[in-house]
Chains A and B, each alone.
Chain A
Amino acid sequence: MKPAPFEYVAARSLDEALAALADAGEGGKVLAGGQSLVPLLALRLARPDVLVDVNQVAGLDRVVVDDHRLVIGALARHRAVELDEQVRRAFPLVSAAAAKIGHVAIRNRGTVGGSVAHADPAAEWPALLLALDGEVEVASPRGRRVVSAGDLYAGYLTTTLEVDEVVCEVRATLPEGRTGTSFLELARREGDFAIVGVAAVLAIEGDEVRHCRLALSGVGSTPVRARGAEELLAGAAADDAAIAAAAREVVEEIDPPGDIHGSADYRRKVAGVLVRRALSAARDEIGRMVA
């Protein structure tokens, strides 16, 4: 048997889960889809005293598109989001990103809330949330609170959430008006974690960029927003020159790690290329709407 022994609580309601977690303190851990946690248990890199399984908690798996807003329950599986027609129409970058998470068998189990809380800097959801002005609603015995995506990530596999807090819902917003989006990533093989990923959101008014959000995965200990490039584009014409300048700015402003999958220089180069392609794709999407 690979995992070390633990006490197992199958919570049937959120309150039950919160109570069990509060009792367990530092030794407690939430089990959602288990696609990251169970390997860690098997390798004994994680050895929780109490595992609080939230899979039977009802009502936590809704996927709702409401105009420019996307609300996803923490227990929604990646595969459900990937195949949701409303999401595909209103948030095509979310569908594209969800389809790149692991493999089908992983997406059948893995949950949105689990991925958001696991805080892998190479994962898709954290970067998506940053690009979509996202926020999470978390619950604890003290009540509920909302944490913006920008305040959620503290470091590698680490969020700013307390040990007794549970992510219940994830929300994302697109700017109104003429908006284009794109999600691109480079991985060695389908289903691998990305070496670099880019989520881009662009809103154009007249010929000018009114709103730009650029978030990258795989280039730091947390998902990273390319604020310098965003500022450069704001108010600029969305032409090839401006996009190329933004891509150069991203290369300058990020400080990626190097590892066996790619050196820091390689990641910087890939980030520049992906940002240019993602922004061009977002802009072209807007062009097609008008045409």
Chain B
Amino acid sequence: MSERRTVTVEVNGERRSGSVEPRTTLADFLRDELGLTGTHLGCEHGVCGACTVLLDGRSVRSCLMLAVQADGCSLRTVEGLAAEGGELHPVQEAFSAEHGLQCGFCTPGFLMATLELLSESPQPSEEQIRSHLSGNLCRCTGYHHIVKAVLRAAETMRGDVAASRA
């Protein structure tokens, strides 16, 4: 009753296709079809935020979307953050420097949600950070270090923008 369909997306700037059943979630498509296992699955029903990716620039829970719904869309996952040579993205660098992770399972989701926040609000308050990341659960850090990491990333990225303008 549910024949396979071809889904084509642009992931981290690269055009990728795969064949899926309609019931396949975007998260399973990314992980199983495209081999992008950096997007993690925690609860698989929209509670934990670990599977957060950017869809056309906005954060979405990839476990709450069907892969067929993303056909033709542009996606950004954690694999798209670091530079080609392996140099970490400023958000990744800040999470590392501020101990914004311990086991790392939730980190891909936090990084993607942070990226959205900083694209909307380059200078977020602590309250804004906590609110924007409220949909992401972390059982290791107690969140304080994550908030510090986001503040640090924001500062670095503002500096980068200023430097590129200079």
**A residues touching B (Cβ–Cβ < 8 Å)?**
1-8, 10, 31, 34-35, 38-39, 41-43, 49, 51, 53, 55, 79, 102-106, 108-109, 189-191
Contact = CB atoms under 8 A, between A and B. Distances in A.
Interface of B: 1-2, 5, 21-25, 28, 44-46, 49, 52, 55, 58-61, 63-66, 68-69, 113, 116, 130-132, 134-136
A47 to B, nearest CB: 11
Contacts of B46: 35, 38-39, 106
A42 B24 CA distance: 10
A10 B113 contact: no
B23 A39 contact: no
B49 A105 contact: yes
A103 B66 contact: no
Nearest to B71: A10
Given A105-B49, A108-B59, A191-B134, A39 B64 contact: yes
Closest 8 CB pairs of A and B: A103-B135, A8-B22, A39-B45, A105-B59, A3-B23, A190-B134, A5-B2, A108-B58
15 contacts: A1-B28, A5-B2, A6-B2, A6-B23, A8-B2, A8-B68, A34-B65, A38-B64, A39-B64, A42-B45, A43-B45, A103-B49, A104-B113, A105-B52, A109-B61
B29 to A, nearest CB: 11
Contacts, number: 95
Contacts of A190: 130-131, 134
Given A34-B65, A35-B64, A38-B64, A1 B24 contact: yes
A2 B44 contact: yes
B60 A8 contact: no
Nearest to A110: B64
Contacts of A3: 23, 25
B56 to A, nearest CB: 10
A194 to B, nearest CB: 15
Contacts of B61: 35, 105-106, 109
